[in-house]
Every structure is written in structure tokens, then in C-alpha cells.
Amino acid sequence: MEFNWFQKKEKKVLPEYFLEYKNAFLNAEKLPINQTRFVVFDTETTGFSMKKDRVLSIGAVSLVDNIINVNNSFEVYIKQEIFKAETVPIHGILKYGEMDKINELEALKQFLKYIENAVLVGHHVGFDVQMINEILKRNKLPNLVNKSIDTGFLFKKSKHAVYKNDKKHYTLDDLCNELKISKSDRHTASGDAYITAIAFLKILSRLNNRTDLKFKDLLF
Amino acid sequence: MKNSIAERVYDFLKNFPPFNLLSKSKLLEIATEIDIIYLEKGKVLFNQNDANHKHFYIVRNGGISLSKKTEKDNVLIDICDAGDIFGLRPLISKENYLLDAIANEESIVYGIPIEVFQSVSEKNIKINKYLITSFASKSFDPYTTEQSSNVFTDYIVKDSLKYSNLHSVKYTKNPLSCTVNSSAKEAAIKMSTQKVGCIVVVNEAKIPKGIITNSDLKNKIATGVFSIDTCVSEIMSSPVITQPKNLTVLDAQLQMIKHKVSHLCITVDGTSNSKLIGILNNHDVLASLGNNPTVILKDIKRAKRTSELRKIRNKANILLKSYLEQNIPLSHISKIISEINNSVIIRVVEISLKKMPTPAPVKFSWIALGSQGREEQLLYTDQDNALIFEDTTAENYLETKNYFLKLAGYITKSLHKIGFEYCPAEMMANNPKWCLSLSEWKEQFNSWIINVDEKAILLSSIFFDFNHVYGDATLAKELTKSIFKTLNKRSLLFNFLGKEAIASPSPLGFFKQFLVENNGDHKDSFNIKQRALMPLINAARLLTLSNNIYEINNTAKRFEKLAEIEPQNKELYQSCSYAFKALLKFKTKQGILHNDSGKFIKLESLTKEEKLKLKRCFKPIREIQEVLSLRFNLSK
């Protein structure tokens, strides 16, 4: 075959489930905050390395207008070959535990179907988004396109001017203490997602008290 | 799919009736279908006459107030706490809501779809019975509760005064008693160790025969008429007046007046031939009525737990409301309310000190800051407080500081439970920054005064108005002295404070229109705090500081003092004082009306007369701002 400089790289055909996910963004209109669907999610992982570590479970809840619908929550446990004994005490997920586990690709499909074009919310959400993007990459797919909001960043924003300079790094536990949120179920993906959702709502109301809250204020 | 959130919901629901009557699988089915609703304080869940939702509700955290609008005003029916169910009756009787449900504080509420609940519980007789009795007990008219076959009568209070007089009084159960053969001395010892003012004399069958009160001991024993070994039966008042246990407040008052007694004995069947089960005194009757400041103050001093204090403090709010309705002068109202607030804080500190393993290692002073320090806090607001402890040696410093931080942690937590929200800016004594030794505090203030910057100005409105509340007052006094010493050396702070005081323009615009907020949630409303109260507060602080006046924090009083020492500006200062009081009252009334801080006022809700009144208050603001810019050379 003749070599052609201009031959395009063969255009990759995206699978059905990903096209469906992407299409949700095409005609999405801009909604005010109280009509926006937020998906608050958390991942439990084998560690903090984007490349080497793997997602063991994803938990998420969705909320619209300050209401969390329990029936529309999301929780999956994922079979992974990579396993680190040292993180088991944190997340409590055993390699051969009783939990019904699905494979990574199946989890990804379900997750994309669940989140649609919602705004993603998480505590230090950058990490969780990256972990999902790594799964996408392993499956030769493009990154997530959802907007995302970090509760850690929002919380700092809600602090009084006097304390603004503090370069403190707020953990989810710090937020629980300061916002008086019960810490039961901490360190399960679903539990952390729920706690983060409550924290998110509390911080939103704080910010709303002080200023006219616009959507752009919430993003990085 | 596993649903951990539903399991969490299940774990909560299973503790509360009627859900505790359901099997695990059925309750889980319900838990999976619920909505978790977050409500900011003041947010409406449903309004009277709204069509019913598909859900009924149970409070998870916080509190929801249920109230009924009448032609004249809004009557509070109930405040639902964690575990309380509400909004169910309209779903069953298929009617619109009869009450307003509004978040009384920041709350989380579970919405339970009625369809799911009914399909799961339909054939459960116990649940039906529970629901029927719970409706019945919530119907507030005590005479229909038992007799009426119609259990779905609405629980509407027709007349709030009637209600408060017709509910049953809370009496003291298991009162102190002694036998007819005891001596006066034995009775007195019992009263003294139990710290109570009366003892009931009973026979072997526990039937009350007489009563001995403090005044009997004073009049009969201490005067020498009877010796302390006299048998109690000789000095007791007899016979006693007995009453049944479900006595109403109104009846109790009538009985006491009729028989000219201050104590009533409660017996099993209400006659003088049955066993003693309780005692009721004047104080209990007044306390049941709940709107008497001396009773409230006494109850605060007696309270043993934070939860009791919370209930008592809530009564003070009812009191505040009735005072405002009766048009009692604001200076009087704020005196009483700050007295109540102070006693609550004092009691909280006392209770918290008991929780500590050891007594305080050195002396300390608990101080109130900001509006609380100025005694201008009428409604619940955020906590602003700090702690000064006595200087200690370098090796003991850390231990001492940690002790007070722990103590302050207990105190702020209790205050929070009572209803004083945590300060979002953490101006609280449990913050290591605001729990300092006396020398550290002096240094802190000196640095604010000498190195004035925006931060210092921001903090000045909070910290310069501090007020000693509990502990050793000399620490706070020494700090004040040190502040004025530094102030007299440097006056740059005055210049900054002056700029701050005139920064907010006069609330009347060019054409004598109100300046309203032009963006945000409060668009078109008037920010009374920022535009009217703060300029006056800032001006008063600056003028008193620069005149070396200390230990007067209250803004109105500051202006009155200024009128005394600067006769040439007497009229202006007096009108500032008057305007301040009027504005504060205005804000408080608005706050009560909307159950918030009252900061934002919707102009269209005001009558013409109210608008004029408000405008009159603004004149002195502009004038005092002019005085400040001349005196402190604040050319714009």
C-alpha cells in the first residue's frame, strides 16, 4: 500500500454507550442552580497513584433543588487484579469479599449512564475525576466532559475574610466537624458521597447567604 | 444493586414509631424510596392551603415549625424535632395543608411517599392504631381528645391564651416528705440538704396531713415561739389543699387564690384521702405560663443540662415577642434579654466547668464580643466570644491553654445546642486564636492599633466591643486599660475607623428614595444592618474610643454618654441614640416576623407611616457622618 502523508488516523468509532453519554451534552440548556442536577460521588481506590492504582468502588447520590432521592443513588463494587492489603483497613473492601462485584468496564458503562450531563461534585473531586478518566483511557475513550465542583475549594470560599489566607488543606473529616455532619459510614464510597452531598448543600447555603450565588462562582 | 444510603435511612427510621412496627424488609423497601431534603433556616416546606404533596415527613436533623395563619397573626402550633412525623393527616384525609411548615433551623427532613408507605403498612393494625392515637393526641383541645369519636379533628389552636391556661401544669414528682412524728429540726435538715423550700408531712399510708414551708420555720421556730425539737405536727399548716394530677394551669391559679396558699398537694385521686404523688407551688404555675422574666432567670440558674437551657431560652423568645407587641421600650427589652442571655452563658460555663477533670489552673474571663458585647442582641444570632486567661509560666503555658481550649469547646458546643449558631467566622473562644493569655491579648490589640490594616478594621467591630460575662472581671479591665494606653499614643486607628464609619453612604438617595440592594437574593430590599445600624455602631465606637470612655459598649448608651460630655453636640447624639433604638426594634420585629435576623426589609411590606419613621431615623446618620469627617479629617 502506498504511504500517504495526509491519510488521517483512522477515526475511532466510539461505542454506543459513550455516544449516548456524549449526546446528553449536545442540547443541554443552561439551568439555574436550583434546577441543576448534581451528582455527588466518591471513589474508593487502592491508593493515590493515578497510573498504578485502581478504583474498587464508586458511590454517588444525585440531587436537584436540595433534595436527594435515595432511589436514584449509585453504588458499585469493582473486581480488580491490583490489590493492596494496606488500604483494606481504610475502605474495608476485601479482594474476595462477599460484595457483588462487576468488572471495570461494566462499572464504567453504568456510571456514565447514571451521571449523564450532571454537574459532578466531590471532595477534592479532581482525583476522582482523574481515576474515572484513567478507566476511560484504558478503554481507549476520551475524558469525562461534565463540569465539576470541589467541596474542598467551595468550603475555603465560604470562610470568613479574616481566615481566607489560611493555606489549610481541609479534609472531609474537617468539613464534618465544622459543619456538624455525622461521620457514620465514613470510608465507604456511598457513605462519603452522602456526607459530601450534605456538606455541599450546607456550604451552598452559607455562600448564598453572603452573596448572590452564580453558577460560575462554584467552579474553579 | 446495594444501596448503602437506604440502609443508613433504615437505621434511623427503625428507631421511631410507627416505623419500628414494620419488618426490616418492609422498612427497607420504604427507605429506598424516600427523598432526603435539605432545608436552610426559614425555608418553607409547605404552606397553609397548598395542595398536599405525595410525601409525608420525618425530621432527621434540626427542627420544623408548624404554624397556623389566622386573620390577626401566626400561631405556632408545634416544633417538630428529630424523629417527629408531620404532614401526614392531609394525605390521609385528602385535604390541603392546614399549617405552614417552615425550617426553624437548618434541617434535614426525609420525605416518605405515602403510596409506598400505605402499600407496605396497609394491613398492619398496630400502625393504624398508632396513627389514630397520634392524630388524637395532637388535637390540642383537651376536651375533645377523649370524647370525640372524630379523631381527625384538626389540631388548631383557636385562642393561644386559652391554650396556655388550659394545659396541665408540670408539678414536682416525688416531693420531700416526713412522718408526723418527726421533729422540726429533722424536717429542716431534710429541706436544707435537698435545697427545697417545703416538706409535706404524711402519715404511714403516705396520705398528706400537713405542710411545712420556709416561712413556717422563720415565723414559728426562728422567732423562738417553738423549740427546734417540737414535733412537726405542731407547726405544720393543715389541712393541705389536694388536687388531682391533670390539673390545668388556670385551675391551679384559682385554687391557690381561693385557699390563700402557695402550695398544692397532688394526690392519686385528688382527694385528701389518697397517697401523695407530687407538689405544686407558685413558681411551677408561673413557669407553666412561661413568660415571666424572673421565672426564666430562676429556671436558668437551676438548669442542670443544656437541653433544659434550650427549652428555657425558647421561652425568652416568646417573651420578647409579647414585649414587642405591647410596645415596651426597647431599652427595657434589651436589658432583660441580655440579662437572660448572660445568665444562660454563665450557667453554660458552670456546667462545662463541671465536665472538666480539674478546676481551672488559673483565673480566666469569658468575654462576649460584637453585638452580644454591646448588649444589642435580641434574637438568636451567631456566637461571638473569646477567653482571656491569667499569665502563667512558660512551662505551664501550653497545658493551661489546652485546658481552656477544651473548656471553651464544651461551652461553644452547649451554646450551639441552645440555639446560638457557631460563628461562621470562628470568632469563638474554642479557636486557638481567640483563647489567649492576658499579655497575648494586650499584644494582639496593640498590634491591631499600631499596624492598622483592613483586617484590623474588620475585627475592630467585633473585638473592641468586648464585655466580661463570667470569671475574673479584673482581667478584662486590665485589657481595657492597656488598649486605651496604646490608643492614646497612636491615633492612626481613629482615622481608619472613621473612614469605615462613613464608608456606607446615607441610606437615602438623591431623591430621598431608599437605597436598596441592586443585586442578589435580596434585590430591592433594604439592608437595615449595613446601611443604618452599622454606621451608627461604628460612629459610637469611634467617638467613645477617642474620648477615652470605656466600659460602655451599648451603642445607645454610648451616644447618651457622648451627649453628656459634648454639650455642643447634645441634640445630635441624642437623636442618634433614639434612632438606633428605633432601628434595632424595627430589625427585631422584622426578624420575628420572618424568623430570620431581620437584616433585609422588603420595602413594599412597609406602611407609609413606617417608611416615614424609618426615614426620620436616617437624618442623624448623615449628620453624624459629617461630624466624623470633619473631626477626623476624612476628606473623601
If you average pLDDT over residues B387-404, what whole number do you get?
A: 93
In angstroms, rounded to a whole number, what is the distance separating the alpha carbons of residues B476 and B464?
12
Structural domain contains residue A13 = no
* CATH code of the domain containing A58: 3.30.420.10
Condensed to tens digits (0 to 9), the pLDDT of residues B531-564 reads 788 889 999 999 998 888 887 889 999 999 999 9
Backbone angles phi and psi of B24, in degrees to 5: -60, -45
ipTM computed for the complex: 0.80
Structural domain contains residue A4 = no
Is A100 in contact with B2 (Cβ distance < 8 A)?
Answer: yes
Whether A143 has its CB under 8 Å from any CB of chain B: the answer is no
Is B5 in contact with A70 (Cβ distance < 8 A)?
Answer: yes
| For B37, nearest residue in chain A (alpha carbons) | A67
Condensed to tens digits (0 to 9), the pLDDT of residues B365-375 reads 999 988 888 88
Whether A164 has its CB under 8 Å from any CB of chain B: the answer is no
If you average pLDDT over residues B513-530, what whole number do you get?
A: 64
In angstroms, rounded to a whole number, what is the distance separating the alpha carbons of residues B486 and A110?
67
Distance from CA of B41 to the nearest CA of A (A): 9
Q: Which of A141, A130, A72 is nearest to A105 (CA)?
A: A141
Whether B272 has its CB under 8 Å from any CB of chain A: the answer is no
Structural domain contains residue A29 = no
Summary mean pLDDT of chain B? 81
Q: Which of B181, B215, B185, B183 is nearest to B198 (CA)?
A: B215
Whether A147 has its CB under 8 Å from any CB of chain B: the answer is no
Is A70 in contact with B425 (Cβ distance < 8 A)?
Answer: no
Residue with cell 433594604: B526
What confidence score (pLDDT) does residue B356 get? Answer: 94
Q: pLDDT band at residue A209, thresholds of 50, 70 and 90?
A: low
Cross-chain CB nearest to A73 (options B5, B416, B422): B5
Complete edge-to-edge strand list for the sheet that includes strand B172-173:
B172-173, B276-281, B263-267, B242-243
Output B522 or B185, whichever has higher pLDDT: B185
Whether A205 has its CB under 8 Å from any CB of chain B: the answer is yes
In angstroms, rounded to a whole number, what is the distance separating the alpha carbons of residues B108 and B38?
5
Residue B276 pLDDT more than 50? yes
Largest CA distance in chain A: 70
If you average pLDDT over residues B373-380, what whole number do you get?
A: 78
Condensed to tens digits (0 to 9), the pLDDT of residues B58-77 reads 988 888 888 887 776 777 77
Is A59 in contact with B4 (Cβ distance < 8 A)?
Answer: yes
Is A205 in contact with B424 (Cβ distance < 8 A)?
Answer: no
Whether A5 has its CB under 8 Å from any CB of chain B: the answer is no
Q: The domain B4-140 belongs to what CATH superfamily?
A: Jelly Rolls (2.60.120.10)
Whether B5 has its CB under 8 Å from any CB of chain A: the answer is yes
Q: pLDDT band at residue B586, thresholds of 50, 70 and 90?
A: confident
Judge whether B109 and B45 are in contact, CB under 8 Å: yes
Q: DSSP H helical segments within B521-569, as ranges?
A: 528, 534-546, 555-565
| Strands B172-173 and B85-86, bridge-based pairing | unpaired
| For B12, nearest residue in chain A (alpha carbons) | A184
Global pTM? 0.54
Question: What CATH number is given for B293-487 in this structure?
Answer: 3.30.460.10
If you average pLDDT over residues B260-278, what whole number do you get?
A: 88
What confidence score (pLDDT) does residue A39 get? Answer: 96
Determine the topology of domain B172-289 in CATH.
Answer: CBS-domain (3.10.580)
| A9 grid coordinates | 488516523
Whether B457 has its CB under 8 Å from any CB of chain A: the answer is no
Output B292 or A135, whichever has higher pLDDT: A135
Structural domain contains residue A139 = yes
What confidence score (pLDDT) does residue A136 get? Answer: 94
DSSP code of residue B530: I
Count of Cβ atoms closer than 10 Å to residue B493 Cβ: 22
Whether B33 has its CB under 8 Å from any CB of chain A: the answer is yes
| A83 grid coordinates | 490489590
| For A204, nearest residue in chain B (alpha carbons) | B40
The CA-CA-CA angle for residues B225, B231, B233, to 5°, reads 95
If you average pLDDT over residues B474-499, what whole number do you get?
A: 84
What confidence score (pLDDT) does residue B258 get? Answer: 74
Count of Cβ atoms closer than 10 Å to residue A157 Cβ: 15
The parent domain of residue A175 ranges over 34-218
Q: Which of B287, B285, B264, B267 is nearest to B276 (CA)?
A: B267
Residue B146 pLDDT more than 50? no
Condensed to tens digits (0 to 9), the pLDDT of residues A106-135 reads 999 999 999 999 999 999 999 999 999 999
Distance from CA of B556 to the nearest CA of A (A): 28
In angstroms, rounded to a whole number, what is the distance separating the alpha carbons of residues A92 and B224?
78
Is A69 in contact with B35 (Cβ distance < 8 A)?
Answer: yes
Structural domain contains residue A20 = no
Structural domain contains residue A3 = no
What confidence score (pLDDT) does residue B350 get? Answer: 94
In angstroms, rounded to a whole number, what is the distance separating the alpha carbons of residues B532 and B529?
6
- What are the residue ranges spanned by the domains of chain B? 4-140, 172-289, 293-487, 490-632
CB half-sphere exposure, A114, CA atoms < 13 A: 23
How big is chain B, counted in residues?
A: 636
In angstroms, rounded to a whole number, what is the distance separating the alpha carbons of residues A210 and A207?
5
If you average pLDDT over residues A8-22, what whole number do you get?
A: 80
Say what percent of chain B tops pLDDT 90: 23
- Chain A residues whose beta carbon lies within 8 Å of the beta carbon of residue B36: 67-70
If you average pLDDT over residues A29-57, what whole number do you get?
A: 88
Structural domain contains residue A137 = yes
| Total tally of structural domains belonging to chain A | 1
Condensed to tens digits (0 to 9), the pLDDT of residues B401-454 reads 999 999 999 999 999 888 888 877 788 899 999 999 999 999 998 888 888 887
Distance from CA of A174 to the nearest CA of B (A): 14
